[in-house]
Amino acid sequence: MRGKIVKGIGGFYYVHVDGGQGESAGSGIYECKAKGIFRKDHRRPLVGDDVEMEVLDGEKLLGSIVELLPRQSELVRPAVANVSQALVIFSIVKPSPNFNLLDRFLIMMEQQEVPCVICFNKKDIDGENAGEGYRRIYEGCGYRVVNVSAAEGCGIDSLREMLAGRTTVVAGPSGVGKSSLVNCLQSAVVMQTGQISLRIQRGKHTTRHSELIAAGKGTYILDTPGFSSLGLFDLEKDELARYYPEFAVYERNCRFGGCAHVSEPGCGVKDAVAEGKISRLRYENYCLLYRELKDRKRY
């Protein structure tokens, strides 16, 4: 029987089977151990892996993973396989977005070649329509952006369409309504969510561990623990500009080759910022991150 690992903890792997594979195939979450051969081959099952499993007890939903199917992709942070895209969630207000943190996440995902969708939540209490400005900034950089209200259900259908048929890693800082939004996205699922929570989160199993949530046919959401800070890994300061795609068209106007776009005269990027062609907010974050990377190399 085939399924997908939705959570792994304490040597157990929880495999979701969505049925439709024959009369004997039952939908549900199977508690599985992995064959010892994986350890011998230095292969470690990851959340998101598609697997072949042997059913040991159909009533108790117990099984054994006998084969790891080929991975389409593998993330380092978080450690997960077969992710199609990332959804990063920030609130428009209460709290206001930490754009430095947002840009760090976008860079981290782009380093791992994972496309990003940006979601700004709490549209219902955005009295000054600030979210529309945020949307324009990041759409202008080439990202897909959606403004929603988890409280009122506004924009949820559009977001659900972006996720359909994909495995999406979801991340965002605490207090932005991430849990409420994830609940909205899986509300139409015909799965017994009580069964999942009972099997996966019993005893010492806590929500600190990443887990996949089935949100429709072939659609999974990887809910990750909230983050408050992100370091930039394996990145040189001279590489940073490539992760700000809106810079590219103006770099040709720089007086000097290899311009860092920070303190050099005759910089096409700085001119574009002054003319309002590049978001000042994004540029200031770039400068902060550039100096951070520069200072890191001194020690």
pLDDT for 293? 93
Is the confidence at residue 243, as pLDDT, over 90? yes
pLDDT for 11? 87
Total Cβ atoms within 10 A of residue 231: 10
pLDDT for 33? 92
d(CA 154, CA 116): 21
Asked, colleague to colleague, whether 2-68 and 237-296 share their fold, the answer is no
Is the confidence at residue 77, as pLDDT, over 90? no
Measured in whole angstroms, how far is the alpha carbon of residue 13 from the centre of its chain?
21
The lowest-confidence range among 74-83, 136-145, 242-251, 267-276 is 74-83
> Domain locations in the chain?
2-68, 74-223, 237-296
- For the segment 109-136, what is each residue's pLDDT rounded down to a tens digit? 898 889 999 999 999 999 999 999 999 9
What's the CATH number of domain 237-296, 2.30.42.10, 3.30.530.20, 1.10.40.50, 3.30.930.10? 1.10.40.50
Q: What confidence category does residue 208 fall into, taking pLDDT thresholds of 50, 70 and 90?
A: low
Q: For residue 245, count CB atoms less than 10 angstroms from its CB and return exposed for 0-12, middle for 13-18, buried for 19 or more.
A: middle
Total Cβ atoms within 10 A of residue 22: 8
* Mean confidence (pLDDT) of the chain: 86
pTM of full prediction above 0.85: no
What's the CATH number of domain 74-223, 3.30.43.10, 3.40.50.410, 3.40.50.880, 3.40.50.300? 3.40.50.300
Question: Are 155 and 147 spatial neighbours (Cβ–Cβ below 8 Å)?
Answer: yes
Mean pLDDT, range 53-58, rounded to an integer: 94
- For the segment 209-242, what is each residue's pLDDT rounded down to a tens digit? 678 888 888 899 987 766 666 777 689 999 999 9
d(CA 288, CA 291): 5
Total Cβ atoms within 10 A of residue 97: 20
Q: Where are the beta strands (DSSP E) in the chain?
A: 2-9, 12-17, 28-34, 50-57, 62-68, 74-75, 80-81, 85-91, 116-121, 144-147, 167-171, 211-214, 220-223
What's the CATH number of domain 2-68, 2.40.50.140, 2.102.10.10, 1.10.420.10, 3.20.20.60? 2.40.50.140
